[in-house]
Amino acid sequence: MQAALTAAWTTHVPVIQRSSPASLVARLLSSRVPSIHSYTFIDFCAGAGGPTPEIEKHLNSSLVGSSKTTSNTSYAEAASAPPPVRFILTDLHPHVDSWSAAAQRSPNVSFVPTSVDASSAPADLIRQEDGKKVFRLFNLAFHHFDDNLARKILKNTVDTSDGFGIFELQDRSFGGGFLTCCLFGLGTLLAAPYYAIMWGAPMALIFTYILPALPFVLVFDGWMSSLRTRTAAEVENMLRGCGGEGVEKWEVSSGSESFMWPVGRVNWVIGLKK
């Protein structure tokens, strides 16, 4: 299931999709977070890795591309370009094996092998040795928290961090919730042979076609997630009422970006400390 959800984030089918959701999130971060090189991005609900390694790849590739030497840029200036943006994977239940594989693929991805509680982040994680500001990521995760826990997480964010991003692939609308999840189930049926080979998991075929637990659970879980997904206004109201110090210094923006017509959208909320 986690591999299927990761595939939903990272797969890009030409013609059908404008881009993968992960590459769209990378573009949102690069365009919405000023002085992005001054931040370290920490995924507080990384699960088995999710989209964060793919977001890192797209984000740093775009930053390198935008800073390439041109006729108006000296080689000295190019050589002194800021280093790549770092991403750190954490979770209450660490997936060290999966994270190790992601870290081996990119020097800009690291992880915390011990349990990390997003409502009480460790001081040594929040205080980066290089002096970078902390930006918290919640990819397809914030809807998992009930209201009390969500407020605690937002309070801890306000008290200890400089930015956050909430990215969801569903919402409470008919199209963005019910229909999107149904299409996800259909996509699972079509793509199961390919992913069974890619993942080296032939049992995925049995649990897709003979005993269709995988598509059923993914669709049902998606419906429940849609019902639990907060609107941007609800997130901001929760932020303003979380009791964090200096909450009035935070600016919140939000939107919904299409990655696949007619219903595939990334719904986002980004908060930045002024």
- Please name each of the domains of the chain with its CATH number: 2-171+229-273 (3.40.50.150), 173-228 (no CATH)
Reported confidence tier of residue 242, pLDDT bands at 50, 70, 90: very high
The mean pLDDT value for 105-120 works out to 97
Residue 69: pLDDT band (50, 70, 90) is: very low
Residue 129 has pLDDT above 80, yes or no: no
Q: How confident is the model at residue 196 (pLDDT cuts 50, 70, 90)?
A: confident
State how beta strands 250-260 and 264-273 pair.
Answer: antiparallel
Q: Are 93 and 144 in contact (CB under 8 A)?
A: no
Mean residue pLDDT across the chain: 91
SS3 271: strand
Mean pLDDT, rounded, for 17-31: 95
User: Among residues 128, 138, 36, which one has the least CA distance to residue 90?
Assistant: 138
Specify the residue for token string 């999709």: 17
pLDDT of residue 50: 87
| Rg for the chain, CA atoms, rounded | 19
pLDDT at 85: 97
Instruction: Tell me what pLDDT residue 74 has.
Output: 55
Q: Are 239 and 250 in contact (CB under 8 A)?
A: yes
Asked if 218 and 188 count as a contact pair (C-beta separation under 8 A), the reply is yes
Provide mean pLDDT across the span 186-191: 89
d(CA 40, CA 163): 10
Distance CA 19, CA 113 (A): 31
Q: Given this model, what pLDDT does residue 70 score? A: 47
Nearest of 51, 83, 77 to residue 64 by alpha carbon: 83
